[in-house]
Every structure is written in structure tokens, then in C-alpha cells.
Amino acid sequence: MSNGISMSTQPLYQREGDYIPRVAAVHDLCGYGKCSLGVAIPVLSAAGCDVCPVPTGLFSSHTAFPGWYMHDTTEILSDYLAAWKGIGVDIDAIYSGFLGAPEQVDRIRDLYATYPAALRVVDPVMADHGRVYPTYTPELCDAMAKLAEGADILTPNLTEAAIILGEPIGDAWAGEDITDDEAHRLTDALLAKGTKTVVLKGIQRGDGLIRNFVGAQDGSFFEVNNELLPYMLHGTGDLYCSCLLAAVMAGRTTEEAVRFAGDFVHDAMIVSSKQPQFQDRGVSFEPLLGKVAALLG
């Protein structure tokens, strides 16, 4: 679907020859359950990227399990990133996701200042279905909302979009069902805050499809949809954004990247459904990594 305005055909990242781009991946590290760095590292590596992790927290498992353990890494991040600067590490993209404390937004801004030409990709992982995640304080939500304003690519779901815009959340957002006009309003409002490209994820209308709406500063607005599978899996949001960025870093256009990410997540969910206890363990994608590598063809 499109409103008749053509999406720019210029890729957001120009891949040059045999150069391997470096991506600073600012996410948590989860021991069990496919998400965050456990997704970003293999997916972006398959796309020919040098992934440089910046761990925002260490988790024993994803938070859908009872009794998970978290170690907050906020105190080490200043020295961690200063050491990069001291040895001349160069970065081509800064990709942030789940954060553990408001101060971690300051560390991402440090990265932005050190690498002003780097592509800024913000997956504002903080809420879903009208509910904020248990580790997110109001201060952290506010800090994440401010970080979103400087993104080249922003990938919120409906609840996260509302938080960023300062709009109320709750049961009204739980169904993830909005009209095209409302999706357009939300993307325009996020663009007005300074984001260059918005991918509004996960709209469902009971018609067997899951929709992602894309808006950009050039006035483009379009929809990409996939079959809605009858189960939810932890980590699909991380996989979606990682696949989108993988395609962008391979030199694909925004529209190509959004379509690739949606198709990949759909196929990974089918692979996942064939694994034991698949709804607990998270999204399985390993057999499909060849599709990511093929982006470089």
C-alpha cells in the first residue's frame, strides 16, 4: 500500500567494495532465550558487519521466565567506551535496543558525539501491548523518548510510539489495531520530533495480516505486511530490527530492508514452531542465516 509518494530509492548506507562496516550494538546480553545481542551479533555478522557489542545489562534469561537475574552494566560503560576511543575504534552505525538505566542514554549520546557520521538506529525496546516492561522506570522511558528524536531509523511498536509522543497508553493499545490514518498520524508525529525514518511495527486487525507502516522525512508513507502467525515469540522485535539493519548495511533501500525483515521474521517463526518448548525458548533463526548472507550477493 502507498499514498502515491515514491519512497526514496537511495540506500541509507553506501556499501563500498570489500570494506566491512562496524556496528556498535548497544543491547543487553541474555544467557537463555533468543533476543538482544544474541540476535544482533549473528544476524549482522552474516550481513558482513563487524559487530562491536556494548552490553547494557546481563540477563540469565529473557524476562518472560520467572526468577530471571539481571546485572546492570551502567557503571562500566564510560570506561568501556573511553577505551574504544583510546585505540581509535571506528564505527559506521550505532544500533541501540534494551537499556538498563537512564544514564545509558548518555553513553549512547557519547557514541553519537564520537562518531557523528555513524548511522543512528534506535529500537526503543520498553513496552508492548499497552504495558511497560518491568525494568523500565518513568525516567528511563523519558530518556528513551529523547533518544528516539535523533534516530536515522526508529522502530517502535504502538505502545512505544505513544510513550515517545507523550500520549496515554493502556488497554486501548493492547489490541495493536489502528487505522491507516492513525498510523500515518503517529509516524508524522514521530518524524516531526526529528526522526528521519520511522517503522511503526505490529499493527493487527484480525484479518490474518501483521502490518508495518513506514514514514520518512521525504514525505513517503507505505505499508508492508506479512501473514500473522497464531502464536507470539520472545525476541521477534530484536530479530526484526537486526534484519532491517543488516539489509541497510548491505546497501539495500529502506523499502527493501523493511520487506526483508518482515519476511525473515515470518520464516523464523515457522522454524521456531518446530522446536521443543518453542514458545518459551524464543525465536529460532539459525538455519536461515544464509538468507542474510545472500544480501551481499
43-64 pLDDT, tens digit each: 999 999 999 999 999 999 988 8
Q: Is residue 163 part of a domain?
A: yes
Residue that wins the pLDDT comparison between 167 and 7? 167
pLDDT at 4 over 70: no
Q: Is residue 296 part of a domain?
A: no
Q: Is residue 240 part of a domain?
A: yes
Domain count, the chain: 1
pLDDT at 173 over 70: no
Q: Is residue 135 part of a domain?
A: yes
Give the pLDDT band of residue 2 (cuts 50, 70, 90): very low
pLDDT tens string 123-165 = 999 998 888 988 899 999 999 999 999 999 999 999 999 999 9
Q: Is residue 232 part of a domain?
A: yes
Mean pLDDT of 273-291: 94
Q: Is residue 293 part of a domain?
A: no
Structural domain boundaries, residue 212: 22-287
pLDDT at 176 over 60: yes
> How large a percentage of the chain has pLDDT more than 90?
83
Q: Is residue 246 part of a domain?
A: yes
Question: Looking at residue 280, what is its pLDDT?
Answer: 87
265, exposed or middle or buried, with CB in 10 Å at 0-12, 13-18, 19+? buried
Closest residue by Cα to residue 264 from 234, 286, 297, 231: 286
The enclosing domain of 79 has a CATH number of 3.40.1190.20
pLDDT tens string 186-244 = 999 999 999 999 999 999 998 999 999 999 999 999 999 999 999 999 999 999 999 99
